[in-house]
Amino acid sequence: MNVFVTGAAGFIGGAVAARLVRAGHVVRGLIRDPGRAEEIRDFGVEPVVGDLDDRDLLRAEAARSDAVVNAASSDHRAAVDALLGALAGSGKTLLHTSGTSIVADEARGEPSDLWFDEDTPRRPEPDKEARVALDRAVLDGSGMRAVVLCNSLIYGHAIGPRARSVQLPRLIDLARESGEARFIGRGLNRWSTVHIEDVADLYLLALERAPAGLFAFGENGESSFRDLARVIADALGLGRISSMTSEAAEARWGREVAVFALGSNSRVRGKRPRELGWAPRHPSAEACIRASVR
């Protein structure tokens, strides 16, 4: 199958592109930096230099492909509209990447008993309403096999081009810089987690088997940020963990990361991937940190 992957130099897109190549698919990957073209080719991906604002390029690549994987942004409405327009009525496949911050709260380090599966009614925080609307627009795509894969906190080293995930690397960098592993507030907020290799396997499985209109949470367990801080501290040989205020986190990383990526609860249970036959193989985030950070 000929597949066009946006974000092919990113953490998710690069992993998915590399996994699809290993499975025998022909992959073209959108990258912004032409200086990374050879790096992308090393993984068997043909680079396409451009960005999500180039709608004509997106339409052309979608038209020449059997399937499109949008892994560059969960929030770029214009790019998704361009892809939806190009694929409408074609019967082709669109796999769109979302994230479980759509169910995140503004807990600022406090715990929550709420968790969600794909059938649980969801009322997003105002910051996430646009992302939820974009997910719905994808699933409403006409005349195509449209699928939304909604990933939780992804951990593990890149399996494609060099890239890093959003959440844990920031905490590890701060721990190395400050000599303390930090968490926001009391650090009792919890996120579901999933390994990057299991994520890539899920995209391949969805490409091959997912029915049109599938919305699926990608998760395999969960952790509190206080527990993650303890493991980071131990792995780095640091003597202590400590709290930081939400305001200090916002000053360092901005509201999106501080409030929704690191200070919230985002607890999900993915039923749909397992119904497809997805069987995550990797250990917990804590086990991965112990093995890799050292």
User: Binning pLDDT at 50, 70 and 90, where does residue 288 land?
Assistant: confident
Question: What's the rounded Cα separation, in Å, for the pair 30 and 33?
Answer: 9
What confidence score (pLDDT) does residue 291 get?
84
Taking a C-beta distance cutoff of 8 angstroms, is the pair 105, 39 a contact?
no
What confidence score (pLDDT) does residue 155 get?
96
User: What pLDDT, in 10s, does the model give residues 186-211?
Assistant: 999 999 999 999 999 999 999 999 99
Domain ranges of the chain: 2-161+193-219
Question: What's the rounded Cα separation, in Å, for the pair 23 and 126?
Answer: 39
Q: What is the CATH number of domain 2-161+193-219?
A: 3.40.50.720
Taking a C-beta distance cutoff of 8 angstroms, is the pair 191, 109 a contact?
no
How, if at all, do strands 241-244 and 2-6 pair?
unpaired
Residue 179 has pLDDT above 70, yes or no: yes
What confidence score (pLDDT) does residue 294 get?
59
The answer to which of 59-68, 81-90, 102-111, 284-293 has the lowest mean pLDDT is 284-293
- DSSP designation for 194: E
User: What pLDDT, in 10s, does the model give residues 98-132?
Assistant: 999 999 999 999 999 999 999 999 899 999 999 99
Centre a 10 Å sphere on the Cβ of residue 252 and count the other Cβ atoms it contains. 14
- DSSP designation for 142: T
Please classify residue 177 by burial: count the beta carbons closer than 10 Å to its beta carbon, then call 0-12 exposed, 13-18 middle and 19+ buried: exposed
Taking a C-beta distance cutoff of 8 angstroms, is the pair 114, 267 a contact?
yes
Taking a C-beta distance cutoff of 8 angstroms, is the pair 176, 237 a contact?
no
Question: What's the rounded Cα separation, in Å, for the pair 86 and 4?
Answer: 13
Closest CA to 196 of 26, 41, 13: 13
